[in-house]
Structures are given as C-alpha cells and as structure tokens.
C-alpha cells in the first residue's frame, strides 16, 4: 500500500511539473498584422530578370508588432542598417505569365513565391551573393501574383511600380529572446506595393536588375471567409 501511494504521488508530481512547464511557455504572438490599410511589413531589395524568369531578394525593415531594432543585430545604428545585419530576409522566384506594351510603358504579370527567413544571428546577407538571402530558418511563404509597370525613361533605364496580391501558405514560429512569434498565419491575404528603378544590362539575352523599396498591407483572410 505504501509503495502504491508513492507511485501515485510521483505521477501527480510529474503531471504538475509538466503542466507548470507548459504554462511557463508563452504562446506564439502573431505579428505582421494590423487594421487594413496600415503597413504590416516593409522591405527593400532587388529583382534580377533573365529572359522571363525573375528572382527577388532583400531584407525586412519593419514588421508590425516587433520593434524595428529587433529586426537587426544588437547595437546596429538605425541609420546604418543594411542586408549584412538584417535578421529577416526574403527570397522569391517567379516567371512572367503575360506582357503588354504601349509606347514606353511595359506592363507584365508574374506568378511567384515569396519566402521569409529569420536568423537570430544575421547570416550576413549580401546583394553580391543573392542566395545568401535564403539563409536562416524559413518562417513564412506567400504565393503571389505580381503586376508590374515599367516606365522607360531612356534607353535601358526605367521607373518601376509593382503591386502584388498574395496569400500566405506557411507560418512557422520563431523566437526572439524568450518570446515566440509567428509572422502572420496561413490564409492571410496581403497586397504589396513596390517602387523602384530598373536597368537593362543586356538585350541578347535579356537581363535586367530592378532596385526597390516597398510595403504590404492586409486585405483579408481566406480562412475566415470559408
């Protein structure tokens, strides 16, 4: 009887310890969400074009719900932030699905994916090495349809504007300090707006680079609409 009582007490203690541990872990806080029309994500980066294939890469400068300084290595001067000290980076690939031209205006559509990565210690991304922006842990993936308008100002130089409707496919938790977060959630709908300038470096084969800054706002939630 005494041995049986000790077993029961041990089981109760294990249960209490497990429960306390679970309670001690803060649930993941969702960030990158706000009222419609408010910027939830801000990015800066580059698009490389080869024929009708495009690669997008860059880094995140703002996520609603996280202090901006937390997006970069500790001690980084706010006026000297760049890709090398960014904790959040982006990487995407896509292909043109249509194009229309009128005079010096080139409009095209692109189906693409956009991946977000996080690393507590910045991976040291560099625009000289595009693949470096796909380092760290993948925390979110969006499927997007981009509509771009290039206003060619002079030979091989144009002003770029892009709008993109996207749906979130992946949201994985990540940790800053002792707090767990998720960047949005599956089913979240964004609209990205990018502004920049493009430079064509070759016509045969067609290659160009576009430098941009931009932001995303929320426009809906496909999960809630079902």
What are the tens digits of pLDDT across the range 182-208? 999 999 999 999 999 999 999 999 999
Length of the chain: 226
Model pLDDT, residue 35: 85
What are the tens digits of pLDDT across the range 65-85? 999 999 999 999 999 999 999
- For the segment 105-125, the average pLDDT, to the nearest whole number, is 97
Asked if residue 26 has pLDDT above 90, the reply is no
Model pLDDT, residue 222: 83
Model pLDDT, residue 224: 61
Q: Which residues contact 11 (CB under 8 A, 6 or more apart)?
A: none
Asked if residue 9 has pLDDT above 50, the reply is no
pLDDT band at 12 (very low <50, low <70, confident <90, very high): very low
115 touches 90 (CB < 8 A):
yes
pLDDT band at 118 (very low <50, low <70, confident <90, very high): very high
| Token pair for 13 | 């203690």
Q: Which residues contact 128 (CB under 8 A, 6 or more apart)?
A: none
With 0-12 / 13-18 / 19 or more C-beta atoms within 10 angstroms meaning exposed / middle / buried, residue 138 is: middle
- For the segment 138-158, the average pLDDT, to the nearest whole number, is 97
Asked if residue 18 has pLDDT above 60, the reply is no
Higher-confidence residue of 12 and 150: namely 150
Three-class DSSP labels, 52-99: CEEEEEEEEEEECCECHHHHECCCCCCCCCCHHHECEEEEEEEEEEEE
Residue 25, SS3 per DSSP = coil
Model pLDDT, residue 211: 98
What are the distances in angstroms from CA 183 to CA 9, 32, 33, 126, 166?
42, 6, 8, 23, 14
pLDDT band at 25 (very low <50, low <70, confident <90, very high): low
Which alpha helices (DSSP H) does the chain contain, by range?
2-24, 222-225
């Amino acid at each position: 009887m005494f041995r049986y009582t000790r077993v029961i007490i041990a089981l109760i203690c294990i249960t209490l310890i497990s429960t306390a541990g679970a309670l001690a872990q803060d649930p993941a806080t969702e960030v990158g969400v706000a009222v419609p029309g408010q910027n939830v994500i801000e990015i800066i980066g580059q698009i490389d074009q080869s024929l009708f294939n495009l690669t997008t890469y860059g880094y995140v400068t703002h996520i609603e719900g996280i202090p901006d300084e937390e997006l970069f290595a500790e001690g980084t001067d706010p006026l000297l932030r760049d890709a090398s000290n960014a904790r959040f980076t982006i990487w995407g690939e896509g292909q043109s699905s249509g194009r229309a031209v009128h005079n010096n205006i080139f409009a095209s559509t692109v189906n693409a994916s956009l991946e977000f990565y996080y690393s507590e210690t910045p991976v040291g991304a560099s625009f000289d090495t595009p693949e470096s922006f796909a380092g760290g842990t993948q925390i979110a993936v969006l499927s997007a349809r981009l509509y771009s308008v290039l206003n060619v100002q002079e030979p091989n130089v144009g002003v770029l504007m892009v709008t993109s409707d996207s749906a979130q496919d992946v949201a994985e938790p990540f940790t800053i300090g002792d707090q767990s977060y998720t960047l949005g959630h599956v089913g979240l709908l964004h609209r990205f707006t990018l502004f920049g300038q493009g430079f064509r470096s070759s016509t045969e084969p067609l290659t160009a680079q576009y430098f941009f800054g931009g932001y995303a706002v929320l426009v809906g939630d496909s999960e809630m609409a079902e």
